[in-house]
Chains A and B, each alone.
Chain A
């Protein structure tokens, strides 16, 4: 698995990008915050002109891209000492987050419909990564605290 991991130097910047974009994303989602300076013509590669007729606010797109970049950097950067036990913890966290994500989606399919379901689907694009990053780093934090207590 180590072959596919990023440098350890990217972990802290990844966590900063991930959590700041997550907070801004939640503010955007619940308060519909749309800074005017991010208004521009909307791209659409499938349209004739390459643009849609209406104006789009690009905050959503920027946050989405930062969340993906930050999440991958935070979740898939090597630890300072990356060994087989850390790989096991990472794999377990990944499996756990996929189970949780699809359990939530399973319930949403049954319990949510209409436009609210679109919101659930939009959130679902990022929840696997969000659950994984939070769970993996929480497990590492708990283990390191226990380790410090054993000194």
Chain B
């Protein structure tokens, strides 16, 4: 799954720590999600969408490989 979390975060000018605090998760989680090592739950994805004021599809996007899993 491709994500634009880092880009969205930079767009609104907040740090990983600030995003972690807003979403109520650890900074480790933000790092893992931004680097594509961890796919967040629907709840967390919705929180990100709310923080960035975007739709989920604008932050997370399915890739071809995701259909093969």
- Taking Cβ atoms with an 8 Å cutoff, the residues of A that contact B are 79-81, 83-86, 88, 143-144, 146-147, 150
| Contact with A147, one of B24, B31, B38, B41 (Cβ below 8 angstroms) | B31
Q: How far does the Cβ of B39 sit from chain A's closest Cβ, in whole Å?
A: 10
Q: Given A81-B20, A85-B33, A150-B16, output 18 extra A-B contacts at Cβ < 8 Å.
A: A81-B24, A81-B25, A83-B24, A83-B25, A83-B29, A84-B40, A84-B41, A84-B44, A85-B25, A85-B28, A86-B26, A86-B28, A88-B38, A144-B28, A146-B31, A147-B28, A147-B31, A150-B31
Contact A85 B32 (CB under 8 A): yes
* Residue among A85, A143, A144 having the largest count of chain B Cβ atoms under 10 Å: A85
Overall SS of chain A's interface: helix
> B27 near A: Cβ within 8 Å?
yes
Q: What are some 25 contacts across the A-B interface (CB < 8 A)?
A: A79-B26, A80-B26, A81-B20, A81-B24, A81-B25, A81-B26, A83-B24, A84-B25, A84-B29, A84-B40, A84-B44, A85-B25, A85-B28, A85-B29, A85-B32, A85-B33, A85-B38, A86-B28, A88-B38, A144-B28, A146-B31, A147-B27, A147-B28, A150-B16, A150-B31
Asked whether A143 and B44 contact (CB < 8 A) given A85-B38, A88-B38, the answer is: no
Q: Who on chain B is nearest to A85 by CB?
A: B29
Overall SS of chain B's interface: helix
Q: How far does the Cβ of A85 sit from chain B's closest Cβ, in whole Å?
A: 4
A contact residues around B41 at 8 Å (CB)? 84
Q: How far does the Cβ of A73 sit from chain B's closest Cβ, in whole Å?
A: 21
A contact residues around B26 at 8 Å (CB)? 79-81, 83, 85-86
A81 to B26, CA, bound (A): 6
Q: How far does the Cβ of A149 sit from chain B's closest Cβ, in whole Å?
A: 11
In chain B between 7 and 21, which residues have their CB closer than 8 angstroms to a CB of chain A? 16, 20
In chain B between 32 and 61, which residues have their CB closer than 8 angstroms to a CB of chain A? 32-33, 38, 40-41, 44
